């Protein structure tokens, strides 16, 4: 993938972006990475991929006893085509299968299993060692990349996040009910914030960005400005 900004040879820069479901992290972080010439890494897609595999295997995504044995049978990988991230399981591209509400809820459940988080930790850190990255997720600044040059906590109100998710689903021709989307989102927030392992929280040195009321362009511009300023030492 071509880089717009050149990076010093032998050095990589990590940008960590955390925040709740539906905050627009994926789109905003991807656009910022493109502007910076960095590699974008959507870690949520990795958990979604495992969740999809678990569901297809017919096991309970909340059960470590059922999920953990499956980890020995799968290989999760990220690949890039024309700058776009693709996620695969055992060589099969599942990028188009991991965005359903069912997979989202299952991803929240499997992400609470310590063995799943450990399984993906090495992959995430290796990507940051090999490339300058903008990486988003739930525990990037607190656990995965605690020494990231810049840390951002990206959020928005629950109502706004639910509206965005609802409109996205309708735009894709999916059946959706706003109140159900809002309820599912609040459930995921609670689970992410209260899990015993790597709960969702803002890192002490992270910059808070609330995108409530922002257009996509405004959010991208704000995020990119903050990252550039922090990298410049301002």
Per the model's pLDDT, the better-predicted residue between 3 and 61 turns out to be: 61
**109: which 2 tokens?**
């459940």
Cα(136)–Cα(162) distance, integer angstroms:
19
pLDDT tens digits, 100-144: 889 988 998 998 899 999 999 988 999 999 999 999 998 999 999
The whole-number average pLDDT for the span 32-56 is 93
Q: Is the pLDDT of residue 55 over 50?
A: yes
**Residues of the chain with pLDDT > 90: what percent?**
70
Cα(123)–Cα(14) distance, integer angstroms:
14
Instruction: Please give the domain boundaries of the chain with CATH numbers for all domains.
Output: 14-229 (3.40.50.300)
Mean of the per-residue pLDDT values of the chain: 90
Cα(191)–Cα(28) distance, integer angstroms:
24
Cα(223)–Cα(5) distance, integer angstroms:
17
Partners of residue 154 on adjacent β-strands: 209
The whole-number average pLDDT for the span 49-73 is 96
Q: What's the predicted TM-score (pTM) here? A: 0.83
Per the model's pLDDT, the better-predicted residue between 9 and 82 turns out to be: 82
For the chain, the C-alpha Rg in angstroms (whole number) is 17
Question: Which strand (E) or helix (H) includes residue 31?
Answer: helix 25-36
The whole-number average pLDDT for the span 68-78 is 93
Q: Is the pLDDT of residue 4 over 60?
A: no
Closest CA to 192 of 123, 108, 66, 73: 108
Closest CA to 44 of 64, 65, 19: 19
What letter would DSSP give residue 149?
A: S
Q: What is the pLDDT of residue 48?
A: 94
Residue with tokens 């024309």: 82
The whole-number average pLDDT for the span 179-206 is 90
């Amino acid at each position: 993938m071509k880089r717009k900004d050149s990076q010093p040879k032998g050095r990589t820069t990590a940008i960590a972006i955390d925040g709740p479901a539906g905050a627009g992290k994926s789109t905003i972080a991807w656009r910022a990475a493109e502007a910076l010439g960095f590699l974008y890494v959507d870690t949520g897609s990795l958990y979604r991929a495992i969740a999809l595999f678990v569901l297809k295997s017919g096991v309970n995504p909340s059960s470590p006893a059922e999920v953990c044995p499956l980890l020995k049978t799968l290989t999760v990988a990220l690949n890039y085509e024309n700058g776009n991230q693709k996620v695969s399981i055992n060589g099969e591209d599942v990028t188009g299968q991991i965005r359903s509400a069912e997979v989202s809820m299952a991803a929240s459940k499997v992400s609470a299993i310590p063995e799943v988080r450990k399984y993906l930790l090495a992959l995430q850190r290796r990507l940051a060692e090999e490339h300058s990255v903008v990486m988003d997720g739930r525990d990037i600044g607190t656990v995965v990349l605690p020494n990231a040059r810049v840390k951002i906590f990206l959020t928005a109100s629950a109502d706004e996040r639910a509206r965005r998710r609802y409109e996205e689903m309708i735009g894709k021709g999916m059946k959706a009910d706003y109140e159900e989307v809002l309820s599912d989102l609040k459930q995921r927030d609670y689970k992410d914030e209260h899990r015993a392992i790597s709960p969702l929280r803002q890192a002490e040195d992270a910059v808070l960005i609330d995108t409530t009321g922002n257009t996509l362009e405004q959010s991208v511009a704000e995020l990119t400005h903050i990252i550039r300023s922090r990298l410049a030492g301002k």
